[in-house]
Amino acid sequence: MATLDQMNEYFEKNRDTHLNQMKEFLSIPSISALSEHKADMKKAAEWLSSSFKEAGLENISIESTEGHPVVYADWLHAGGQPTILIYGHYDVQPVDPLHLWESAPFEPEIRDDKMFARGSTDDKGQVFMHVKAVEALMQLDGKLPLNVKFIIEGEEEVGSPNLVPFIEDHKEQLAADTLVISDTALHAPGQPAICYALRGLSGVQIDVYGAKSDLHSGVYGGGLQNPIHAVAEILASFHDQEGTIAVDGFYDSVRNLNEEERQAYKDLNFDEEALKQELGVTELFGEPGYSFLERTSARPTLEVNGVFGGFSGEGIKTVLPAEAGAKITCRLVPDQDPAEIVEKLKAHVEKHKPEGVKVTVTPFDQGRPFITPFDHPALKAASDSYEKVYKVPTVYTRGGGSIPIVADFDEILGLPVVLMGFGLETENLHGPNEHLTLENFDKGLRVLGDYYQALSALSKDELKK
Amino acid sequence: MATLDQMNEYFEKNRDTHLNQMKEFLSIPSISALSEHKADMKKAAEWLSSSFKEAGLENISIESTEGHPVVYADWLHAGGQPTILIYGHYDVQPVDPLHLWESAPFEPEIRDDKMFARGSTDDKGQVFMHVKAVEALMQLDGKLPLNVKFIIEGEEEVGSPNLVPFIEDHKEQLAADTLVISDTALHAPGQPAICYALRGLSGVQIDVYGAKSDLHSGVYGGGLQNPIHAVAEILASFHDQEGTIAVDGFYDSVRNLNEEERQAYKDLNFDEEALKQELGVTELFGEPGYSFLERTSARPTLEVNGVFGGFSGEGIKTVLPAEAGAKITCRLVPDQDPAEIVEKLKAHVEKHKPEGVKVTVTPFDQGRPFITPFDHPALKAASDSYEKVYKVPTVYTRGGGSIPIVADFDEILGLPVVLMGFGLETENLHGPNEHLTLENFDKGLRVLGDYYQALSALSKDELKK
């Protein structure tokens, strides 16, 4: 197998070629949200197919869906070695506001050793890195150390509406021992991170109905239940005064952080003082016994995202409104079940709703939480590969947000998921002047090449989740 | 002094003349809110002056204010007899939506023995009744049984911004033993009522500030105080679970209902079941130990009129908002002080505000509560006069709303206020097809004539508040 030195030499020699190829890919305006770019979506899928072919991959196909196509490719000649499935997306966000871009979003330009273009970091640039890493090993060794499958979709930026059915319909074809996704960021410049868990999501809208129509508070106030009072009472009942969620059984299925995980949080040396400054608050607040980072990524939450009722214009209107309501989302952690949480929220509202009003609870879309066990060998191998190239220990993090598709892969294919990102939070993904820092492009190619080799050294049994 | 029979004969004989005169007055579009009607306001004031002159009143003047003029007139030849001050307003509400009117708002038309026109019941029609009642006694007896002063303003529908300074500047001129206002309604058709108390008003806006800007609830949720949670907690703290206001000292200055007053409420035989049907609620709710009518008119309230924060559009947005807030008004009863209540609300918020947010409390305009003691002779006399004409016992009520100007008169001039209304709640005041039921116009003229005489039989000492 190729050594890291050989890879270094290879990637240095081919750097200009690779950057030019990446520019080609980035110059295709594959905006999935805008129907006028349907042809561009096809063009991007075709460009990707060609690059798979050049890399030496096989069984390349552009698979139609009800929306934009999924591009598949594989190389399955590694016999009993593990199989890695690589997921990414070739679609990008719209580019408005265009006037804030310093160079045109689809005319890629390198400035300060950064590639500026829509999709450079999210996610075409990172998908391209996997293609080139595979190609490198193929060039250097004439073969790959493990079986590889690519599934690159074109609808991630519009919520992946057709991916779950696709995965379900192609379960056999997509079967693998590990899923790798490069669509996230390093922890900080020069600081690689393994994001080993993401939170799930479930939410409800609470609507409270009083009288048939708005009433004059001078005539009816004090005489019947005010829907705003009812909403306030319900919302206030969701947490205790210290910030712990007071919904019966809410924490029942929560997988607690173990000592190793808590140590990993401490090792991040997160600066809560700096955060307070940045946010403009005098104190942080939340579930006692956990740090800010733990609360926002490893603990479940219940947040009211909106409340409404009555008059909110300037001045005063003495109305007793007919309706009031609130929108609530919970971020969930393993092993909470989104549907079960909705039932618990419903039961809580039923128990705490005041007299004299009608209350309805309507669920929103749900997403499962995801976790790859902290000590899983596929994560350890990724951590080691990062460390070899970046020369610092890899940190372990959990993401506070939700990427439902990750949990869906986990759920349907039952395999460990490794989130190996090479972007930076500051690279303006979704905004103007999106870019990819080329230092991380260069290092990432080497990390991936090394990682494929490291994974191949593990047995299928070791990789079982 | 003229007997009721003589008055009957007089009013019957002059009915057509009176109705035609009233139509003249109602045909002037005296909309105080719209600047294009400034000349009409002057015209209405002049029409009123002429009618005062015809009635035999003296010292008639159209007094300028910073807004629309106040019309004054008096007759002060009754020596040591009491003086009655009559307040009303000649301005009217705008007429939109015009297309819902069956006849033009300023082309008065009698249909089904009702006078349809803007201002017919609120309040030009009722002011006109006082003028004609005074004129009747003057015609029948050649003099009045007591001293009379009229103060009719032109800005009631825009909040009487210039009346308080006017009263303060004319304290001597307006000095009287009783104030009579006919700008309210009977309790029901055929059922006269004395409204002997009105509630006061004070209110605050509560604003809660968290982080500098809206945050993503997936990234920050659970990590710092959510302003909506804080608002909900504050709002929920204002009442106990049964609906009693939980603000320290809120009820301290409340003058409790005596047995006679509570009996008067019971005598109204108010149908709470019918109200529930009408409002579409399964139960009424509020401070325990009091009936719906007591709660909405004789007890103070704290109602949230509006709550806002975060996202309230369709679907969901996982935002942790930077701000949230609420608007609150309290209806106050004697002897609560609006400014003192604001201080108590502030202290309550200070005590109940959660950690991690900044909270401000901003007061709105205030109005004092008003009461004329239930057993005051001026009320008893009014009750008797109603009863003589309507042939049913007069009921005693309190108004749940606030007419701050009533409390201002009370405060500045220190005299009992008698609210003798002849309208009906169903007469569409402020809406399209406003009308005055002529049965109450006819009866009202007789009630007022009788009342002036009855008041004159009381001594100034008896009338002292």
Give the tens place of pLDDT for each residue, A269-310.
999 999 999 999 999 999 999 999 999 999 999 999 999 999
Contacts of A294 (CB under 8 A, 6+ apart): A257, A262, A265
Name the closest residue on chain A to residue B210, using Cα atoms.
A281
Q: What percent of chain A has pLDDT over 70?
A: 100
pLDDT digits (tens, 9 = 90+) for B104-127: 999 999 999 999 999 999 999 999
Closest CA to A430 of A185, A224, A194, A82: A185
Do A225 and A130 reside in the same domain of the chain? Answer: no
Give the pLDDT band (50/70/90) at residue A387. Answer: very high
Span B341-369, average pLDDT = 95
Question: What's the Cα-to-Cα distance from B414 to each of A228, A297, B275, B458, rounded to whole Å?
Answer: 39, 66, 37, 18
Please give the pLDDT value at position B455: 97
CB-based contact B355 A315, cutoff 8 Å: no
Residue A411 predicted with pLDDT over 80: yes
What is the C-alpha to C-alpha distance for residues B423 and B430, in angstroms, rounded to an integer? 13
Residue A365 predicted with pLDDT over 90: no
Do B417 and B336 reside in the same domain of the chain? Answer: no
Q: Is the peptide bond before A123 cis (omega within 30 degrees of 0)?
A: yes
Question: What's the Cα-to-Cα distance from A20 to each of A325, A343, A440, B312, rounded to whole Å?
Answer: 54, 53, 17, 46
Task: Pick the last residue of a domain from A312, A336, A363.
Answer: A363
What is the C-alpha to C-alpha distance for residues B15 and B445, in angstroms, rounded to an integer? 11
Please give the pLDDT value at position A45: 98
Residue B237 predicted with pLDDT over 90: yes
Do B74 and B170 reside in the same domain of the chain? Answer: yes
Residue A465 predicted with pLDDT over 80: no
Residue A145 predicted with pLDDT over 90: yes
Residue B32 predicted with pLDDT over 90: yes
Q: Is residue B287 part of a domain?
A: no
Question: What's the Cα-to-Cα distance from A140 to each of A8, A14, A22, rounded to whole Å?
Answer: 11, 13, 21
Q: What angle do CA A14, A20, A23 make, to 5 degrees?
A: 140
Where are the extended beta strands (E) located within A211-286? 215-216
Please give the pLDDT value at position A307: 97
Question: In the structure encoding, which two tokens stand for residue B82, read together?
Answer: 């009491």
Please give the pLDDT value at position B429: 85
Question: In the structure encoding, which two tokens stand for residue B256, read together?
Answer: 């409790």
**CATH for A407:** 3.40.630.10
Do A111 and A176 reside in the same domain of the chain? Answer: yes
Please give the pLDDT value at position A259: 94
Residues of A in contact with B366 (CB under 8 A): none
What is the C-alpha to C-alpha distance for residues B324 and A41, in angstroms, rounded to an integer? 42
pLDDT digits (tens, 9 = 90+) for B194-222: 999 999 999 999 999 999 989 988 889 99
Q: Is residue A282 part of a domain?
A: no
B231 CA: distance to closest CA in chain A (Å): 8
The number of distinct structural domains making up chain A is: 2
pLDDT digits (tens, 9 = 90+) for A306-355: 999 999 888 888 889 999 999 999 999 999 999 999 999 999 999 999 99
pLDDT digits (tens, 9 = 90+) for A74-107: 999 999 999 999 999 999 999 988 989 999 999 9
Name the one residue in this structure whose structure tokens are 């679970």.
Answer: B241
Residue A383 predicted with pLDDT over 80: yes
Contacts of A97 (CB under 8 A, 6+ apart): A432
Portion 307-366 of B in contact with A at CB < 8 A: 307-312, 315-321, 324-327, 329, 331, 354-358, 364-365
Task: Pick the last residue of a domain from A311, A340, A363.
Answer: A363
Please give the pLDDT value at position B315: 84
Whether B376 contacts B236, CB under 8 Å: no
Span B248-264, average pLDDT = 95
Q: What is the mean pLDDT of chain A?
A: 95
Q: Is residue A281 part of a domain?
A: no
A70 CA: distance to closest CA in chain B (Å): 28
Question: In the structure encoding, which two tokens stand for residue A45, read together?
Answer: 């899928």
B222 touches chain A (CB under 8 A): yes
Predicted complex ipTM = 0.85
What is the C-alpha to C-alpha distance for residues A28 and A80, in angstroms, rounded to an integer? 38
Nearest CB to A285 within list B212, B224, B329: B224
Do B76 and B162 reside in the same domain of the chain? Answer: yes
Task: Pick the last residue of a domain from B363, B384, B406.
Answer: B363
Span B250-265, average pLDDT = 95
Do B345 and B455 reside in the same domain of the chain? Answer: no
Span A43-62, average pLDDT = 98
Do B233 and B204 reside in the same domain of the chain? Answer: yes
Q: What is the mean pLDDT of chain B?
A: 95
Nearest CB to A222 within list B217, B229, B295: B295
Residue A391 predicted with pLDDT over 90: yes
What is the C-alpha to C-alpha distance for residues A32 and B143, in angstroms, rounded to an integer? 90
Do B75 and B188 reside in the same domain of the chain? Answer: yes
Question: In the structure encoding, which two tokens stand for residue B67, read together?
Answer: 């807004």
Give the pLDDT band (50/70/90) at residue B236. Answer: very high
Cα A404 from chain centroid (whole Å): 7
Question: In the structure encoding, which two tokens stand for residue A135, read together?
Answer: 């190609």
* Concatenated DSSP letters of A158-172: GT-TTHHHHHHHTHH
Q: Is residue B260 part of a domain?
A: no
Residue A243 predicted with pLDDT over 80: yes
A136 CA: distance to closest CA in chain B (Å): 37
Q: Is residue B207 part of a domain?
A: yes
Q: Is residue A231 part of a domain?
A: yes
Q: Is residue B262 part of a domain?
A: no
SS3 A303: strand
Report the DSSP pairing between strands A301-310 and A323-332. antiparallel
Helix B227-236 vs helix A227-236: crossing angle, to nearest 10: 120
Give the pLDDT band (50/70/90) at residue A431. Answer: confident
Higher-pLDDT residue of B405 and A172 is A172
Output DSSP code: residue A187.
Answer: S
Residue A170 predicted with pLDDT over 80: yes
Contacts of B39 (CB under 8 A, 6+ apart): none
CB-based contact A327 B321, cutoff 8 Å: no
Q: Is the peptide bond before A97 cis (omega within 30 degrees of 0)?
A: yes
pLDDT digits (tens, 9 = 90+) for B292-320: 999 999 999 999 999 999 998 888 888 89
What is the C-alpha to C-alpha distance for residues A421 and A212, in angstroms, rounded to an integer? 54
Portion 21-80 of B in contact with A at CB < 8 A: none
Which phi-psi region, left, alpha or beta, contains residue B190 (left: φ > 0; alpha: ψ -120 to 50)? left
Whether B118 contacts B26, CB under 8 Å: yes
Do B153 and B250 reside in the same domain of the chain? Answer: no
Phi, psi for residue A63 in degrees, rounded to 5: -95, 125
Residues of A in contact with B354 (CB under 8 A): 241, 285
Please give the pLDDT value at position B103: 97
Question: What's the Cα-to-Cα distance from A355 to each of A231, A319, A358, B25, B280, rounded to whole Å?
Answer: 12, 20, 8, 50, 14
Do B211 and B177 reside in the same domain of the chain? Answer: no
Output DSSP code: residue B378.
Answer: H
Residues of B in contact with A312 (CB under 8 A): 306-308, 325, 327
Please give the pLDDT value at position A216: 86
Output DSSP code: residue B211.
Answer: S
Q: Is residue A428 part of a domain?
A: yes
Phi, psi for residue A225 in degrees, rounded to 5: -65, 135
Helix (H) or strand (E) holding A39: helix A38-55
**CATH for A356:** 3.30.70.360
Residue B263 predicted with pLDDT over 80: yes
Phi, psi for residue B10 in degrees, rounded to 5: -60, -50
Q: What percent of chain B has pLDDT over 90?
A: 87
Give the pLDDT band (50/70/90) at residue A394. Answer: very high
Higher-pLDDT residue of A193 and B219 is A193
CB-based contact B306 A219, cutoff 8 Å: no
Name the closest residue on chain A to residue B294, using Cα atoms.
A223
CB-based contact A304 B221, cutoff 8 Å: no
Please give the pLDDT value at position B112: 97
CB-based contact B296 A232, cutoff 8 Å: no
Whether B422 contacts B443, CB under 8 Å: yes
What is the C-alpha to C-alpha distance for residues B134 and B448, in angstroms, rounded to an integer? 8
Do B189 and B329 reside in the same domain of the chain? Answer: no
Please give the pLDDT value at position B465: 77
Nearest CB to B281 within list A224, A307, A354: A224
Q: Pick from B304, B349, B402 the residue to mutate for testing the A interface (most A CBs within 10 Å).
A: B304
> Domain range spanning residue A236?
200-254+300-363
Question: In the structure encoding, which two tokens stand for residue A114, read together?
Answer: 């950064």
* Concatenated DSSP letters of B102-168: SS-TTS-EEETTEEESTTTTTTHHHHHHHHHHHHHHHHHHSS-SSEEEEEEES-GGGT-TTHHHHHH
Output DSSP code: residue B239.
Answer: B
CB-based contact A355 B219, cutoff 8 Å: no
Do A315 and A409 reside in the same domain of the chain? Answer: no
A280 CA: distance to closest CA in chain B (Å): 5
Span B186-199, average pLDDT = 93
CB-based contact B301 A222, cutoff 8 Å: yes
